[in-house]
Amino acid sequence: MEDRIITYGGQAVIEGVLMRGQKAFAVAMRAPDGNVVVHTEQLAKVYRSGIAKIPFLRGVILLWDALGLGMRALTLSANTQTGEDEKLEGVPLYLTLGLSLAFSIGLFFLLPAAIGGWVEGLFVPSAAGGGGVLPAPALNVAASTSGLWLGNLIEGVLKLALLIGYIWAIGFMPDIKRLFGYHGAEHKTINAYEAGAELTPESVAKFPLEHTRCGTAFLLTLVLLSILVFTALGPIPMLWRLVSRVLLIPVLAGIAVEYIRWTANHLNSRFVQWMIKPNLALQKLTTREPDAKMLEVAIASFKAMREAETQ
């Protein structure tokens, strides 16, 4: 079971599902004509190298590669829907991906950090006194400490609110609803496989929508870790505050990956089951109950990935 946990994962794409193994990945997509189109490729050797066994470092490297893999799968699925005449590639593709990444970092990291730093700054200057009267040293420390905790608390709450609010809001869009349906199909298929069940739409449909290794769980873990780490940094100038939020993303990502792996390998523990409840709860926003055709696509992707693994 541990090998399965480490090896198999996936994500939803436009009218399709990506399934990733240890050696290969597959993307199955429902084309506009109703047929299921399957694309398979071998994975980069980094997934099987010694780096993939080094804790924390493996998380950063594999996440970066997984980001590229996910973008490639999304591009394949988008091009399948639009056809050759409107294929997204080259400069327009990289510009779109770059802007999307910059928007995400700005919205979920830099904006909360700027607001939190502003709140923190309101307290620190006041500790220096006003009207020519300097406060006692103890009052200075207390004010600075209060500002630090309040600033980081507001930053953390804003991150959580923006993450949950964003996911909740886009969930009303028809196209995103279908994407979340395929997300649910991906989870159900992997859950069915890990339970040893037959991979048919009727059988897979009975399994849960939530999965402990979901990317949604990773995002929530990343946000919560950032609150702890950034609070430990203490008060720093605004520029360095913003820079640190970007530079430490890989570090936080590596820690988050190890946490997700550890909880996935200790699901028999009641304490772990309690710890992952927030992660599973958030997945209710990012998954929808899939229909039979969505399940067919997810199963086709999983089977194609498994077959490509043997080549």
Residue 42, both tokens: 């071998």
- Predicted confidence at residue 6, as pLDDT, reads 45
Domain count, the chain: 1
Query: Which ranges of the chain would DSSP assign to H, the alpha helix?
Result: 2-7, 57-82, 90-105, 111-126, 137-170, 174-194, 201-204, 215-233, 238-247, 249-264, 270-275, 277-286, 292-309
Model confidence pTM above 0.75:
yes
Query: 273 in helix, strand or coil?
Result: helix
Does residue 136 sit in helix, strand or coil? Answer: coil
Q: What residue type is assigned to position 176 of the chain?
A: I
Q: What is the pLDDT of residue 44?
A: 75
CA-to-CA distance for 234 and 81, rounded, in angstroms? 49
Q: How many CB atoms lie within 10 A of CB 197?
A: 15
How much is the pLDDT for 120?
79
- Encode the chain (311 residues) as per-residue pLDDT tens digits: 334 444 688 999 999 999 998 889 999 999 999 999 999 998 877 666 777 678 777 777 767 777 778 888 888 888 888 765 556 566 666 777 778 888 888 988 899 999 988 887 776 554 334 443 334 444 444 445 566 677 888 888 899 999 999 999 999 999 999 999 999 999 999 999 999 999 999 999 999 999 988 888 888 888 888 888 888 887 788 898 899 998 998 888 889 888 988 998 888 999 999 999 999 999 999 999 999 999 999 999 999 999 998 87
64-74 burial code (b ≥16 CB/10 A, e <16)? eebeebbbbbb
Our measurement of the distance from residue 232's CA atom to the centroid of its chain's CA atoms, rounded to an integer in Å, reads 24
Range of the domain at 85: 2-309
Are 172 and 290 in contact, with CB atoms under 8 Å apart?
no
Distance from C-alpha of 22 to C-alpha of 6, rounded to nearest angstrom? 8
